[in-house]
């Protein structure tokens, strides 16, 4: 009882307040982020593994997502995307043009993308199969015929067999996710894009472009390999173009 009363004393309350203030002082989150980054680097986590670990940590701490939190999905505008691709092709001597274009047009997670092999590409079917998709699942995504032709030209005759990386490094090995992240970042900076650009932003970008172009939500969800439709719904809810179109449809009425 005495201990309980002691916690209510002004001196103890002030000490707790001071501790809270210290915990929330500027730079605290950055220090936590740096400590976390060191741990993740030590275990060589990929992008998707880092997301999964963060999810486990939230559940371990019993941190609940706010019920009505408004999420804004950052993505590249169409002109910014064109800038990025144009710059990537200017850097084609490094082989980055087609690589970045394929990353964008397939909406791939970076870990899925780096696992692609020659055998995963189909010219006749104009498609790419991701055999190392999230959750050890497999999915096939369509690509434009012109992209398929470009990939076929990139591979050329007698490329070396289906088990070689679709986009090999100079040492004929597959790129690491970290290297792909660096390539995207460097290309965006060279293109003069002020946003922080990273592979998953490409995924956000193609998702919203597909939705704004009229592709059904369920189809976009399957294309991205989302397990829950609600995950894809976030893109629709955060797109000004889709909101505007919904507004116009609602006021026009049937027909």
The pLDDT value recorded for residue 239 is: 67
Dig out the tokens for 19 from the structure. Answer: 């501790």
Which of residues 49 and 84 earns the better pLDDT score?
A: 84
The pLDDT value recorded for residue 160 is: 55
> 169 and 43, same structural domain?
no
Q: Which of 152, 100, 159, 104 is nearest to 126 (CA)?
A: 152
Question: Given the structure tokens 């680097």, which residue do they identify?
Answer: 41
Q: Which of 47, 96, 174, 235 is catalytic?
A: 235
Which of residues 89 and 161 earns the better pLDDT score?
A: 89
Q: Which of 139, 178, 185, 200 is catalytic?
A: 200
CA angle (142, 147, 152) in 5-degree steps: 105
Distance CA 230, CA 84 (A): 29
For the chain, give the mean pLDDT.
81
> 230 and 110, same structural domain?
yes
pLDDT band of 11, cuts 50, 70, 90: low
Q: Which of 167, 183, 180, 179 is nearest to 87 (CA)?
A: 183
Highest mean pLDDT among 8-12, 58-62, 216-220, 243-247: 216-220
Asked if residue 3 is part of any domain, the answer here is no
Give the pLDDT confidence of 201-229 residue by residue, as tens digits: 999 999 988 888 888 888 888 898 888 88
Which of residues 2 and 144 earns the better pLDDT score?
A: 144
Question: Bridge-partner residues for 141, per DSSP?
Answer: 128
> 118 and 33, same structural domain?
no
Residue 156's Cβ-count burial label (10 Å; 0-12, 13-18, 19+) is: exposed
> 64 and 188, same structural domain?
no
CATH number at residue 99: 1.10.443.10
The pLDDT value recorded for residue 243 is: 64
Q: Which of 131, 132, 134, 139 is catalytic?
A: 134
Residues contacting residue 46 through CB under 8 Å, at least 6 positions apart? 110, 111, 177
Cβ pair 184, 100 in contact under 8 A: yes
Strands 127-130 vs 121-122: parallel, antiparallel or unpaired: antiparallel
> 196 and 84, same structural domain?
yes
pLDDT at 57 over 80: yes
With b for 16 or more beta-carbon neighbours within 10 A and e for fewer, the 165-191 pattern comes to bbbbeeeeebbebeebbebbeebbeeb
Give the pLDDT confidence of 88-138 residue by residue, as tens digits: 999 877 778 999 999 999 999 999 999 999 999 998 889 999 987 776 778
Return the biggest CA–CA distance within the chain: 84
The pLDDT value recorded for residue 162 is: 76
Give catalytic status of residue 235 as yes or no: yes
Give catalytic status of residue 134 as yes or no: yes
The pLDDT value recorded for residue 63 is: 79
Q: Which of 117, 174, 203, 204 is catalytic?
A: 203
Asked if residue 22 is part of any domain, the answer here is no
Give catalytic status of residue 109 as yes or no: yes
Cβ pair 162, 119 in contact under 8 A: yes
Number of domains the chain contains = 2
Least confident of 28-37, 58-67, 77-86: 58-67
> 38 and 143, same structural domain?
no
Which of residues 3 and 103 earns the better pLDDT score?
A: 103
Write out the residue range of the structural domain in which residue 63 sits.
28-69
Which of residues 202 and 243 earns the better pLDDT score?
A: 202
Give catalytic status of residue 226 as yes or no: yes
Distance CA 234, CA 239 (A): 9
The pLDDT value recorded for residue 71 is: 61
Q: Which of 101, 109, 174, 204 is catalytic?
A: 109
Question: Given the structure tokens 């993308």, which residue do they identify?
Answer: 113
Distance CA 51, CA 37 (A): 12
Least confident of 59-73, 169-183, 200-214: 59-73
pLDDT, average across residues 70-76: 73
> 204 and 84, same structural domain?
yes
């Amino acid at each position: 009882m005495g201990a309980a009363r002691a916690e209510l004393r002004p001196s103890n309350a002030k000490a707790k307040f001071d501790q809270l203030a210290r915990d929330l002082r500027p730079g605290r989150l950055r220090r936590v982020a740096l400590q976390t980054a060191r741990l993740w680097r030590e275990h060589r986590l990929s992008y998707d593994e880092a997301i999964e670990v963060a999810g486990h940590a939230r559940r371990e701490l019993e941190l609940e997502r706010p019920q009505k939190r408004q999420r804004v999905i950052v993505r590249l505008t169409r002109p910014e995307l064109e800038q990025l691709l144009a710059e990537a092709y200017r850097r084609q001597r490094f082989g980055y043009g087609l690589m970045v274009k394929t990353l964008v047009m397939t909406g791939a997670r970076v870990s899925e993308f780096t696992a692609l092999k020659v055998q995963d590409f189909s010219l006749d079917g104009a498609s790419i199969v991701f055999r190392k998709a999230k959750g050890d699942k497999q999915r096939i995504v369509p690509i434009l015929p012109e992209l398929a032709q470009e990939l076929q030209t990139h591979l050329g005759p007698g490329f070396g067999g289906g088990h070689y990386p679709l986009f090999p490094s100079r040492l004929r090995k597959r790129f690491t996710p970290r290297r792909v992240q660096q390539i995207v970042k460097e290309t965006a900076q060279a293109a003069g894009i002020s946003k922080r650009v990273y592979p998953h932003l490409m995924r956000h970008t193609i998702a919203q472009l597909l939705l704004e172009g009229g592709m059904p939500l369920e189809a976009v969800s399957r294309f991205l390999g989302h397990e829950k439709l609600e995950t894809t719904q976030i893109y629709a809810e955060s797109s000004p173009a889709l909101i505007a179109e919904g507004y116009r449809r609602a006021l026009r009425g049937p027909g």
